[in-house]
A and B are shown apart, each in its own frame.
Chain A
């Protein structure tokens, strides 16, 4: 039974991830006094894009065609080792957290290459920003994971998250709270959500992620949108695993708790996007480094 739920987890993630984006958009619309798009709109967008043909820049080589596909493949692979709340991932081995970070990094790298290879100076600008901010946010991810490993004593994601229960929260409250804050910040940073980047903007000078995918079209753009939803789910799952310490032993109950957590998280992100303005681009590195500082303090507190 446990195994069945474990293998169901990546499937649910792949099916339900775009729903998170729909939830965020719906929350933003409701807070703004509008009715908003249907919850299933992201699915329609992706289907629409998949049905179209792709247009490739003449200056580009095969790299822009590889970027979105490889990024998506990496994310799907990463989903296989990321647990959700008490539900273990189908695959778990010591050090799999490095694999997740590596796959995220690989996806970022290929997106960068694809953006640079289109030959647009504009996308080079976005790639430069993404590289800079990525260099700051990856240490934060590693420090947070290191603190988690230290405090749970497990080297695999599934093992570590299985040990995050209410008892551990009572014993190591500061460490877990700091890790959770770091993951929340990373969720906003990595998925280009509001205080860092505006996912709806098309104002050139402020974009980070959006500017890199300007030259992608059709199925490639669909893959990118779908990949973004998977990434939102993936980092959200890392956060929910800590913020929702429900470890009942019953896999279905744990799964339900995790999904409820993710739903709440999407509403929370929508609320954050409605309440906060985007930061000045010059302030963004400060925000990311501050997230890293939270993770570092967590690690120090865990080491004491």
Chain B
């Protein structure tokens, strides 16, 4: 099956649009888990030939973290901070999807021009990486509830991970696992912070940060 990597990448891109268009936080977290599964297992589909233990270890750690642990942490956070159901974006869902389209076009153009500048090896999934990073940033900027910032951060991390596997043939295992650990700690700390903010102010609406005075 020659088009299998293409199918996996397409699914990854579609989960991004699902994240941009989903109105419920619970739904977003489940889509994020799916995206973690797809993106995390991407190295298996991209590398041909025998896979070393290193790749399997990386894939295993990635999928475990992004498809199981992160969603579990986020769902628990959502359950504890009772009233977080709707995403309540600053930019509407139609606007978000339209941004997604523009970002996808931009990512494809950018990846195309970078690839053109390279003489030897082509970056395989560079456009997916750029698209994930842009979507992650967009989610962080335009969503009102603090859980969605954590979610956007994980999408951003997914993008950086894809960027890593697309640009570098052999990143040292230690570096890759270190990045994963960073992401894990990040999500963990942000989760605790959001929970404490919610307990203190009975809300996680980041728009209200504007009213803070030092």
Q: A54: CB under 8 A from chain B?
A: no
In the bound complex, CA of A174 to CA of B1 (Å): 12
B40 — which chain A residues lie within 8 A by C-beta? none
Q: Is A171 touching B105 in the complex (CB atoms < 8 A)?
A: no
Interface size of B by CB at 8 A reads: 21
Binary contact track A144-164/B, C-beta < 8 Å → 1, others 0: 000000000000000000000
B14's nearest neighbour on chain A, judged by CB, is A297
Which of B138-195 touch A at CB < 8 Å?
A: none
Q: B136: CB under 8 A from chain A?
A: no
A173 — which chain B residues lie within 8 A by C-beta? 3, 6-7
Q: Is A171 touching B2 in the complex (CB atoms < 8 A)?
A: yes
B127 — which chain A residues lie within 8 A by C-beta? 300, 304
* Contact pick for A290, options B1, B6, B97, B104, CB 8 Å: B97
In the bound complex, CA of A285 to CA of B2 (Å): 36
* Contact pick for B21, options A170, A178, A290, CB 8 Å: A290
In the bound complex, CA of A290 to CA of B94 (Å): 8
Q: Is A293 touching B3 in the complex (CB atoms < 8 A)?
A: no
Q: B79: CB under 8 A from chain A?
A: no
Contact A293-B17, Cβ < 8 Å, known A171-B3, A173-B3, A174-B3: yes
Binary contact track B1-24/A, C-beta < 8 Å → 1, others 0: 111001101100110010001000
* Contact pick for A285, options B9, B13, B94, B104, CB 8 Å: B94
B17's nearest neighbour on chain A, judged by CB, is A293
B72 — which chain A residues lie within 8 A by C-beta? none
Q: Is A289 touching B7 in the complex (CB atoms < 8 A)?
A: no
Q: Is B100 touching A301 in the complex (CB atoms < 8 A)?
A: no
Contact A293-B6, Cβ < 8 Å, known A300-B108, A303-B108: no
Q: Is A296 touching B101 in the complex (CB atoms < 8 A)?
A: yes
Q: Is A286 touching B13 in the complex (CB atoms < 8 A)?
A: no
Q: Is B94 touching A289 in the complex (CB atoms < 8 A)?
A: yes
* Contact pick for A301, options B10, B97, B98, CB 8 Å: B10
Contact A297-B104, Cβ < 8 Å, known A289-B94, A289-B98: yes
Binary contact track B112-149/A, C-beta < 8 Å → 1, others 0: 00000000000000010000000000000000000000
Among B3, B17, B97: residue with most chain A CB under 10 A: B3
B9 — which chain A residues lie within 8 A by C-beta? 174, 301
Q: Is B13 touching A172 in the complex (CB atoms < 8 A)?
A: no
Question: Nearest chain A CB to B135's CB is how many angstroms away?
Answer: 12
Q: A74: CB under 8 A from chain B?
A: no
Contact A174-B97, Cβ < 8 Å, known A290-B21, A293-B17, A304-B108: no
Question: Nearest chain B CB to A182's CB is how many angstroms away?
Answer: 12
B21 — which chain A residues lie within 8 A by C-beta? 286, 289-290, 293
B17 — which chain A residues lie within 8 A by C-beta? 290, 293, 297
Q: A90: CB under 8 A from chain B?
A: no
B100 — which chain A residues lie within 8 A by C-beta? 293
Q: Is A297 touching B13 in the complex (CB atoms < 8 A)?
A: yes
Binary contact track B77-101/A, C-beta < 8 Å → 1, others 0: 0000000000000000110011011
B97 — which chain A residues lie within 8 A by C-beta? 286, 289-290, 292-293
In the bound complex, CA of A219 to CA of B101 (Å): 43
B111's nearest neighbour on chain A, judged by CB, is A304
A301 — which chain B residues lie within 8 A by C-beta? 6, 9-10
Binary contact track A274-304/B, C-beta < 8 Å → 1, others 0: 0000000000011001101110110011011
Q: Is A300 touching B7 in the complex (CB atoms < 8 A)?
A: no
In the bound complex, CA of A47 to CA of B199 (Å): 68
In the bound complex, CA of A304 to CA of B3 (Å): 13
Contact A292-B101, Cβ < 8 Å, known A174-B10, A286-B93, A297-B10: yes
Question: Nearest chain A CB to B7's CB is how many angstroms away?
Answer: 5
Contact A300-B6, Cβ < 8 Å, known A285-B94, A290-B97, A293-B17: no
In the bound complex, CA of A177 to CA of B3 (Å): 12
In the bound complex, CA of A294 to CA of B17 (Å): 9
Question: Nearest chain B CB to A240's CB is how many angstroms away?
Answer: 22
* Contact pick for B10, options A178, A289, A290, CB 8 Å: A178
Q: Is A174 touching B104 in the complex (CB atoms < 8 A)?
A: no
A286's nearest neighbour on chain B, judged by CB, is B93
B22's nearest neighbour on chain A, judged by CB, is A286
B98 — which chain A residues lie within 8 A by C-beta? 289
- Chain A to chain B: the 9 pairs with minimum beta-carbon distance, closest first: A174-B10, A173-B3, A174-B6, A293-B17, A289-B97, A296-B101, A289-B94, A174-B7, A300-B108
Q: Can you give 6 A-B contacts (C-beta < 8 A)?
A: A171-B3, A173-B7, A289-B21, A289-B98, A296-B101, A297-B17
